Structure 1
Amino acid sequence: MDQGPGLRYQPFYCEENAWWLCADPALGPGARHVVFLVSRAGRCPLLHQRAAAPGRLIAWDYHVVVVDGQGRVWDQDSRLPLPSPGITWLDETFALADRLPAIYAPRLRVISAEAFRASFASDRRHMRDRRGRFQHPPPPWPAIGEGMNLVHYLDPAAPRPGLVFDLAAARRWLVDLASE
């Protein structure tokens, strides 16, 4: 399924959508980054996600977006424009973050698109129930890489891969990207 002209997209497979998206020429020139949205609670509340009713939070176990060289966020699961200016996306998506318990505070793990595409692997086991059935239909493309290393991206306390930002640091990073 496509979301936008020519973009690969499968609902509930944001990490795979990002893997394809970060190599897409539609993102324009400049360095690209993959951003994992996580929290210490193992649930990251976001607004404006199509899987939730308008105006309602959804708490994903994690979510993945791509940031292009102009500091724009490509969130294929958002109701916000695709792409959105990074600061606008950050402010709108996390507008209620300061009202939530600290354990739900978002952490943004930022990895270069090049490093992500070279190292990420998912055999999709995390999308299967106890009986081995998919909880949501898988994408039509083959699984990415060999094995499974998704867990390495999800722990906000782990020092790598990439860098982990809180909202204030993510804001500064996005401002810097947009001004380059």
Structure 2
Amino acid sequence: MEVSNSEYSSEFDHTPFYCEENVYLLCKKLCAKGVADADGSDLFVVFISNEKKQAYPTVASKGKQESRWYYSLGLSCCLHSGESLIYFARKRDGDSSCLVWDLDSSLPFPSPLASYVSETIRPSFPVFSEFQRFFRMVHAPIFLRFFASDRRHMKDPAGNWIAEPPSYEPIVAEDKTVHNLNEYIEIRAEEITTNVGADLITAVFNNKLGVVMNENQLEEFFSQVSQ
């Protein structure tokens, strides 16, 4: 079952401009509801940015989100059972396609990866290199253990909130780290992988900060891990 993004508020926590925390809670909820594996092993978190933090806006995103210089979303991929995750229910028709859970998109929620990439990631116009987007892919179980944010990035020099923060307490990592968001959103040229192979897949499943890839490798990665 798919629902429009106008209907997700009753099921998922969402605070505008705090997409990294929204995705953290999204993964937690998908696991708790039985949509994803209990440990989130079939979920991935993707941060979209580039070396200059000037990635062009997500085409299908809602207006306010477009002013951000990085973006995060969740992807689900059934790795073992051959099932496809469809909004709080499992589809048992043998379809092993991957889905994108983007709380800030105007596309159906969730959306098949192929259509999401086509309508959101690949523009119909040339993009200057400084606006090219790269994708930091992090395995959800690792992200849920190590991600932390005390929201310091959402305050101006005077200490005032740039955008109203969520009402719940800031996220603290398992190792008691209180803020490491900058480690996830910073993209360096030397991090960008050149091909999708066994080493890259192993790195995604083991590295604290995952792996940085381009849009073509994004689809190729999921085509390999979902086989």
With normalisation by structure 1, the TM-score equals 0.86
The 5-angstrom pairing of residues 99-114 of structure 1 reads 99-114=126-141
The alignment partner of 1:44 has SS state of coil
Q: Deviation of residue 137 (structure 1)?
A: 0.9
1:47 aligns with 2:59: yes
Change (3 A) 1:162 1:90: same
1:32 aligns with 2:43: yes
The 5-angstrom pairing of residues 14-163 of structure 1 reads 14-25=19-30, 27-29=35-37, 31-45=42-56, 46-51=58-63, 58=66, 60-70=68-78, 71-96=98-123, 99-145=126-172, 146-157=177-188, 159=191, 161-163=209-211
Instruction: Say if 1:120 and 1:150, in contact at 8 Å, map to a contact too.
Output: yes
The alignment partner of 2:22 has SS state of helix
Instruction: Say if 2:54 and 2:130, in contact at 8 Å, map to a contact too.
Output: no
Partner Cα separation in structure 2 for residue 32 and residue 66 of structure 1: 7
Partner Cα separation in structure 2 for residue 81 and residue 4 of structure 1: 14
Partner Cα separation in structure 2 for residue 112 and residue 97 of structure 1: 30
Runs of 4+ that moved beyond 6 A: none
Partner Cα separation in structure 2 for residue 142 and residue 122 of structure 1: 10
Instruction: Say if 1:87 and 1:175, in contact at 8 Å, map to a contact too.
Output: no
Letter paired with 2:60: H
Q: Which structure shows the higher helix fraction?
A: 2
Q: Which residue of structure 2 lines up, in the alignment, with residue 10 of structure 1?
A: 15
Letter paired with 1:31: D
The alignment partner of 2:137 has SS state of strand
Q: Which residue of structure 2 lines up, in the alignment, with residue 173 of structure 1?
A: 221
RMSD: 2.2
The alignment partner of 2:8 has SS state of coil
Partner Cα separation in structure 2 for residue 120 and residue 99 of structure 1: 34
> Which digits, 9 at most, give the CA deviation of each residue in 1:121-168, with x for residues without a partner?
100000011111111111111100142101111122264610111011
Letter paired with 1:15: E
Partner Cα separation in structure 2 for residue 58 and residue 124 of structure 1: 19
Change (3 A) 1:149 1:75: same
Partner Cα separation in structure 1 for residue 223 and residue 120 of structure 2: 16
Q: Deviation of residue 72 (structure 1)?
A: 0.5
The alignment partner of 1:11 has SS state of coil
Larger gyration radius, structure 1 or structure 2: 2
Partner Cα separation in structure 1 for residue 124 and residue 146 of structure 2: 31
> Which digits, 9 at most, give the CA deviation of each residue in 1:91-137, with x for residues without a partner?
21123276111121111100011100100110000001111111111
The alignment partner of 1:78 has SS state of coil
How many residues are matched? Answer: 174
Q: Deviation of residue 64 (structure 1)?
A: 0.4
For structure 1, the residue ranges without an aligned partner over 5 or more in a row are none
